[in-house]
Amino acid sequence: METFAIGDVQGCAAELTRLLQEIDALSPGAQLLFVGDLVNRGPASLQTLRMVKAMGSRARTVLGNHDLHLLAAAHGVRAPAPSDTLDDILHAPDRDELLHWLRHQPLALTADDWLVVHAGVLPQWSASQVLSLAAEVETRLQADDWLDFLRAMYGNQPSQWSDTLQGHDRLRCIVNALTRLRFCSAEGEMEFATKEGPGAPPAGFMPWFDVPGRLTAHIPILFGHWSTLGILQRDDVFGLDSGCVWGGKLSALRLSDRHLLQVACPRHQAPG
């Protein structure tokens, strides 16, 4: 059975419906794989979350930074931002069921020989280590005291991985790499201030996928998160965030042959 990976939806349910119609026309019943950020900034986060959850075993997703932000905002850990569009979920009668489902999704997975994350991986991590470290976070996120973890999740430090990291510092570093990373140094120090495309990286930094000697260079990686990067097609990485919520496109990739499907999207969020 074919598998299609789908880029950041961010609450653009109408565009997702159109894209799914195109997928079904090509491969009825195909497996679906979302690269995270199902919600926020678009006009229909509740509908999107319900759609993906209702697909059951047909659909899998990794968690993105906006998905984690929803969990934090829903439980009073973070104040909603002015640009958030999460109220429909926060006031929905099935809110608790949806949030429970969301926090039981992984931060990394493999599918058809691809490694899938929302944002990126650090250069010193192997593919097996990515999955193992993601599982550490998933275990805490799904534990009874998961809110304690969520309260300590935010912050930019430590900005560099060490195998000796422990506790909240260790988990925060893992979350930041998997859900927020764009640029890092050759040594794996992360930089979070820059959100522009890769053409003018901050001094001393480069796109995470360009670091020489990256240990995951032998396995293709699917990711989203970087709308200013757009579609990136390389043998070793494929970036799928084509900026739907910003007036770009919503994209799906057939994993067997890298055939790309796209639907055009109106702008749902003002710049900035």
CATH of 3-264, one of 2.40.10.170, 3.40.50.880, 3.40.50.720, 3.60.21.10: 3.60.21.10
Give the pLDDT confidence of 61-75 residue by residue, as tens digits.
999 999 999 999 999
Residue range 192-197: average pLDDT? 93
Report in angstroms the alpha-carbon separations of 2 from 26, 61, 111, 209, 257: 10, 16, 11, 26, 10
- Beta carbons of 161 and 122 less than 8 angstroms apart: yes
Say what the pLDDT of residue 200 is: 82
Report in angstroms the alpha-carbon separations of 122 from 85, 112, 116, 131: 31, 22, 14, 12
Query: 46: closest CA among 102, 118, 6?
Result: 102
Residue type, 147: L
Length of the chain: 272
Give the pLDDT confidence of 161-184 residue by residue, as tens digits.
999 999 999 999 999 999 999 999
For the chain, the structural domain boundaries read 3-264
Query: 64: closest CA among 179, 150, 146, 171?
Result: 179
Q: Is the pTM of this model over 0.85?
A: yes
Give the pLDDT confidence of 2-53 residue by residue, as tens digits.
999 999 999 999 999 999 999 999 999 999 999 999 999 999 999 999 999 9
248 pLDDT above the threshold of 60:
yes
267 pLDDT above the threshold of 50:
yes
Residue range 178-206: average pLDDT? 95
225: which residues sit within 8 A by CB, 6+ positions away?
8, 35, 36, 37, 64, 65, 118, 119, 120, 179, 180, 181, 182, 241
Q: Is the peptide bond before 158 cis (omega within 30 degrees of 0)?
A: yes
